[in-house]
Structure 1
Amino acid sequence: MGRAEPSGIDTMADLRGQIDAIDGELLSLLAERQRHVDRAVVLKQAEGIGAAAPGRVAEVLAKVRGRALDSGLDPAIAGAIWQVMIEGFIAREERILGKDGTDR
């Protein structure tokens, strides 16, 4: 069953139900992203790439802000969410890779 447009929802209970469903989908996607980041650890290790790779972080954040704008999401909100997410994933990678390595 697809979601209704927010303007077509008449009660807070129904709106909250839709938001909860979206949250569930977001969590599934974030778990998938984490699995990809975990694979990146193996590939980075083999290629001598550091966990942080600041150039890549800047590239990802710029893409996210642009895509957010195109999607109707406030780019500042998207940037802040991704910044926190990236910092968390970098910390996860650094537990294995340490802080050494190149920026790509």
Structure 2
Amino acid sequence: MSDESPDVQRELESMRSSIDNIDAALVHLLAERFKCTQRVGRLKAEHDLPPADPARESRQIDKLRSLAADADLDPAFAEKFLNFIISEVIRHHEAIRER
């Protein structure tokens, strides 16, 4: 049995609107992050530095896991998300290096 009253629909639409706004903000934040990492990739390529920095990546993962826990977000999810971003950044750095 579902409750499809106008009040429920308005509340659902309001929550979805908030989610849509957050998604848009996330996309813009990721775009800014990748602009920064592209600059890092060019600097690394110019100075023949490796595309990956495992020690920094490990520190970032630890920091993000802690932030996630403080924010009541699953730290394992946060780690998976950051690992995905890191793998994309490394791929971009390798591509910059090959140019």
Per the shorter chain, which TM-score range? 0.7 to 0.9
Q: What is the one-letter code of the residue matched to 1:50? A: P
The SS at the match of 1:50 is: coil
Residue identity opposite 2:39 in structure 1 = R
Q: Which runs of 5+ in 2 are unaligned?
A: 1-9
**Structure-1 residue corresponding to 2:66:** 66
Is contact 1:50–1:97 with CA below 8 Å preserved after alignment? no
Q: Report what 1:25 is aligned to.
A: 25
Deviation at 1:43, TM superposition (A): 2.0
- Cross-structure match for 1:53: 53
The 3 A distance-change label for structure 1 pair 75 and 36 is same
Aligned position for 1:92: 92
Greater helix share, structure number = 2
Gaps of 5+ in 1: 1-9, 99-104
Matched-pair identity in %: 34
Q: What is the RMSD computed on CA atoms of the aligned residues?
A: 1.5
* Residue equivalent to 1:13: 13
Whole-Å separation in 2 of the counterparts to 1:73 and 1:26 = 16
Deviations 1:46-78 (A, max 9, x none): 443211111111111111101111122111111
Q: What's 2:40 paired with?
A: 40
- The answer to whether structure 1 residue 78 and structure 2 residue 78 are counterparts is yes
TM-score norm. by structure 1 comes to 0.77
Which whole-Å CA distance do the structure 2 matches of 1:68 and 1:76 have between them?
Answer: 9
Distance in 1, matches of 2:43 and 2:30, equals 20
| Runs of at least 4 residues off by over 6 Å | none
Q: Distance in 1 between matches of 2:48 and 2:42?
A: 10
Where 1:51 maps in the other structure, the secondary structure is coil
